[in-house]
Amino acid sequence: MSERGKALMEAATRQLREAMDLFGRMTEADLRKPCHDEGGDGAGDTVGAAGRHLADGYGRLGGLVRGAADGPAAHQAGQHDGSVTHGGGHDGAPGPANLADLLGDLTRANDQISRLGDLTDERLDSVLDPATSRFSDGRRTLEQVIGVALAHQAEHLSTLRRAVAAGQVEVPGARLYYETHGDGPLLVMVPGAGGTADVFRMVAAHLAAHHTVVIYDRRGFSRSRLAGPQDYDRRLQTDADDVRRLIGHLGGDDSATVFGASSGAIVGLETLARHPEAVRTLVPYEPPALGQLPDGKEWETFFSGVYDLYRSSGIEPALEAFRERTFAEIDRRTMARAPRNDANAAYWFEHELRQYPPAELDLDALTQHADRILPAAGRESHGYPCYEAIGRLGERLGLGVIELPGGHTGFLSHAAEFAEELTRHLTARNA
């Protein structure tokens, strides 16, 4: 057995097992969920259509492998490339899908793809005729074509996984978009300035081994659409009410662990104060509660200046000024690499930058429930205002601050380590 063929076979079968596990946990109703075709190559606009597209892709890959394993003539003719008979895929609109057919097609494709182990290095190094596969260009070897095809399939599988995990809940004045990942006690993650679930996607993948992780877009950001007039004078309270409704929608009468990052931590603190019955443990991670600091008024003036810069010069100069003074270098680098959504940034500038940092926290209510609070900050954030703010709040509540990897955005820059240490602290707290 070729070691290269064996490595390809292991990668392909692992990917197929993930696909079969995903479909094995679905219901027929899941197939009707919307699914955005990020690849733009005809995957369809529902989970069922995208699933058919995915299964057909694996079927064609299995046919290609079987042709290569059967001999050069079949390999070059491509006579096995396209053994799935349910139609659609890359060459046409995806046909109807049901779970039994999808799982059956994936099983057949897996049987064919397992023959990668039969391929010699010489066969893997052969250059494919462009007519053999859509990924052939007359220069790529069989090994390269299979690698590109697997990467393409992995993108579709990731899109499907997000679509199946996604849901929406109607709340007064908005429709909240959320995703659930994993299995275990409920852990709701409240995003900060960007307002979207995407900021937690990497760390959620690790936390999902121990929790049912809920990531969501806060109202007004990205996929959580507003519906009707908003009471912006009570926006923080409304954000907290949204967390309570999300917990009720997913957990019924059960409480949840709530992790809030940055301004999401301020939302978390407000949620515990307003709805203590919904919060089992709160992890406020570096809330910009700068009203807790002796120089809080100076920070309030600074943020007002950043807002004025946004109004006069635009988003980019204002974000640069904001980040330069407020965060450590590791966070500035992480933020600079993140995709920018100007609509979300504008919404944050208008309704959050000046409003949330000076918000008055209900210290009496928080003191009453201090045994549920686990203040947290990034190790790289020493000397920066959000670290100082959570430290000062912890002192007022009689609590120490746990440190987690990275800085203000450690859940992005150190996702695996961050999740591991957070899980350890939560396990000890809830033991």
Q: What is the pLDDT of residues 133-180, one digit of tens each?
A: 777 777 889 999 999 999 999 999 988 888 887 889 999 999 999 999
SS3 13: helix
* Strand 212-216 with 174-181, pairing: antiparallel
User: Which secondary structure element, helix H or strand E, spans residue 425, and what is its range?
Assistant: helix 415-430
Is residue 21 scored above 80 in pLDDT?
yes
Residue 298 in this model has a pLDDT that exceeds 60: yes
What integer pLDDT is reported at residue 86 of this predicted model? 42
141-149 contact pairs (CB < 8 A, 24+): 142/68, 142/75, 143/4, 143/8, 145/64, 146/8, 146/12, 146/61, 146/64, 146/65, 146/116, 147/8, 149/57, 149/61, 149/64
Q: How far apart are CA 50 and CA 331, in angstroms?
A: 36
Q: Is 80 exceeded by the pLDDT of residue 41?
A: no
In one-letter notation, the amino acid at residue 312 is S
Q: Which pLDDT value is given to residue 82?
A: 41
Find out whether 273 and 359 touch, Cβ atoms under 8 Å: no
What Cα–Cα distance (Å) separates residue 211 from each residue in 166, 183, 206, 275, 404? 16, 5, 9, 21, 18
Please give the pLDDT value at position 39.
55
The alpha carbon dihedral of 7, 9, 12, 13 has a sign of: negative
User: Which residues fall within 8 angstroms of residue 101, CB to CB, at 6 or more apart?
Assistant: 55, 86
- Which has the closest alpha carbon to 231: 341, 344, 355? 355
pTM, full prediction: 0.77
Structural tokens at position 164: 């199946």
Q: How far is CA 391 from CA 191, 200, 232, 285, in A?
A: 20, 23, 29, 11
Average pLDDT of the chain to the nearest whole number: 89
Dihedral, CA of residue 166, residue 169, residue 170 and residue 172, to nearest 10: -120
Q: Where residue 94 falls among pLDDT bands split at 50, 70, 90?
A: very low
Mean pLDDT in residue range 382-391: 97
- Classify strands 225-226 and 256-261 as parallel, antiparallel or unpaired: unpaired
Instruction: Give the whole-number percent of the chain exceeding pLDDT 70.
Output: 92
Distance separating alpha carbons of residues 389 and 327, to the nearest angstrom: 13
Please enumerate in sequence order all residues whose Cβ is within 8 A of that of 104, keeping only pairs 6 or more positions apart, or say none: none
Check: CB of residue 65 under 8 Å from CB of residue 54.
no
Confidence bin at 89 (pLDDT 50/70/90): very low
- 222: helix, strand or coil: coil
pLDDT confidence band for 43 (50 / 70 / 90): low
Is the Cβ–Cβ distance between 426 and 257 less than 8 Å? Answer: yes
Instruction: Give the relative orientation of helices 99-113 and 3-24 as an angle to the nearest 10 degrees.
Output: 170
